[in-house]
Amino acid sequence: MQSLLAYWKLYLLAATAAFGLSLLLTPLVRLLALRYGWVDAPSSSVKTHKVTTPSLGGIAIFFSFIATLLMLRFFTQFPTGTLRSLRGLMLGGGLVFLLGVVDDLKKPHGLHFKPKFAVQSLAALCLLFFGMSIRFIAPEYLGVGLTLLWVVGLTNAFNIVDVMDGLSASQAAIAAAGFLMISLPSEELYVNFASAALAGAALGFVPWNLSSRHKIFMGDSGSMTLGFILAGLALGTRYSDINDLGVFAPLLILLVPMYDTILVMCLRLRRGQSPFLGSKDHFALRLEKMGYSRGQVVGLAALASVFLSFCAFLVTQLSLVWALCIYAAIFVEVLLLSRVLAKVEIW
């Protein structure tokens, strides 16, 4: 019990330190962005903002996350058993972060999706090298392939959902808290520490992203990095100790950005467009078109994510029958919502 309490103090320290660092670093990054022209201009019809805005806020998020974990490692009694997995997460996360920075600096057009997928796949291989993979699929090579698909898909899902101030960062913070809730108690302590730090870093960015006078965007350097780290966290926890369906709990925790990605791709394909080109088909923009304010959309999405994370926790704790009922109910609700949103004329 004393050991568990000590860990809880470290988790709280991780979340608080990352939040504080992110809150302090974000305005500094904003000043640098204004000075060096790291801005996002509304240069195309798919842009949802009206004025040129400082970008690369992901720098503050990533460095707050990394600095917090390094601080815990060198200045606290950090459990060394977490280091191997954390190295993979940091190395792969660093690659995705640098990719995002390059992509942000090449705006308004950015990088082509092919080199982005290549670097994201390389980052996913870093996770595999350090033993982080999907293990419930046999034979092993199928698990490796599914891991690559999972990591690359989720990395881009948080980039795709980043169409409204506060949306991607709040989803990342809630998802990280969800993984922390499910992973306790766990021998995979890297999930607990990294989840706490990521939740704090993402949350510390939100006030500046929502600010009217001192706004800054996270950019691809933030959204893709958040998606990658969360994809890695999902690989580190046991979900099926009570029932086999618990293994799908991460799908519920991350359902909001995953749903937006699938919805956007399906609607683009239905119109005969490439699923990799930009459009305004996002669920958030469709809800706005229905009359909800942007604050209401972000709030509703956050409430949905909290509810889904709680459902994810339940499916890891209840019997197989109850878990199946929860999955079925959510699936039906998603289908009904999709029918409503698909009818909204967004153009």
In this prediction, residue 78 carries a pLDDT of 65
Tokens standing for 91? 């190395």
Q: What integer pLDDT is reported at residue 4 of this predicted model?
A: 54
Residue in 72, 283, 275 with CA at minimum distance from that of residue 192: 72
Model confidence at 187: pLDDT above 60: no
- Asked whether 11 and 196 are in contact (CB, 8 A), the reply is yes
Tens-digit pLDDT profile for residues 299-329: 999 999 999 999 999 999 999 999 999 999 9
pLDDT the model gives residue 2: 42
Contact 276, 113 (CB under 8 A): yes
**Type of residue at 253:** I
Of residues 209, 254, 248, 203, the one with CA closest to residue 230: 254
- Which tokens go with 164? 């409204």
**Gap between the Cα atoms of 308 and 299, Å rounded:** 14
Using the predicted structure, report yes or no on whether residue 16 has a pLDDT greater than 70: yes
Instruction: Pull the structure tokens for residue 220.
Output: 């691809």
pLDDT of residue 74: 81
pLDDT above 60: residue 139: yes
The reported pLDDT for the residue numbered 149 is 96
| Residue pLDDT, tens place only, 225-261 | 999 999 999 998 878 889 999 999 999 999 999 999 9
Which pLDDT score is estimated for 280? 82
CB 199 within 8 A of CB 173: yes
Tokens at 168, concatenated = 């991607």
Instruction: Name the more confident of 131 and 60.
Output: 60
Q: What is the pLDDT of residue 97?
A: 98
Cα 70 to chain centroid, rounded? 21
pLDDT score of 311 = 97
pLDDT value of residue 35: 94
pLDDT in tens, 65-124: 999 999 988 877 666 656 678 889 999 999 999 999 999 998 777 788 899 999 999 999
Give 273-276 contacts, CB < 8 A, sequence gap 24+: 276/113
Compute the average pLDDT of residues 212-219. Answer: 93
**pLDDT single digits (tens) 36-79:** 999 988 766 566 667 889 999 999 999 999 999 999 888 776 66
Q: Write down the pLDDT at residue 1.
A: 42
- Structure tokens, 55: 């970008």
Contact 319, 242 (CB under 8 A): yes
Please provide residue 316's backbone torsions phi and psi, each rounded to the nearest 5 degrees. Answer: -90, -10
Please state the rounded mean pLDDT for residues 139-168.
94
What are the tens digits of pLDDT across the range 263-304? 999 988 888 787 777 778 899 999 999 999 999 999 999 999
How far CA 236 is from CA of 21, 105, 192, in Å, comes to 26, 33, 10
Report the b/e string of 45-78 with b at 16+ CB within 10 A: eeeeeeeebbbbbbbbbbbbbbbbbebbeeeeeb
Q: How high is the pLDDT of residue 84?
A: 75
DSSP codes, 98-120: HHHHHHHHTTTT---HHHHHHHH
pLDDT at 68: 96
Please tell me the distance from the alpha carbon of residue 206 to that of residue 100, in angstroms, as a whole number. 19
Helices 189-210 and 58-75: crossing angle, nearest 10°? 140
Task: Give the pTM.
Answer: 0.93
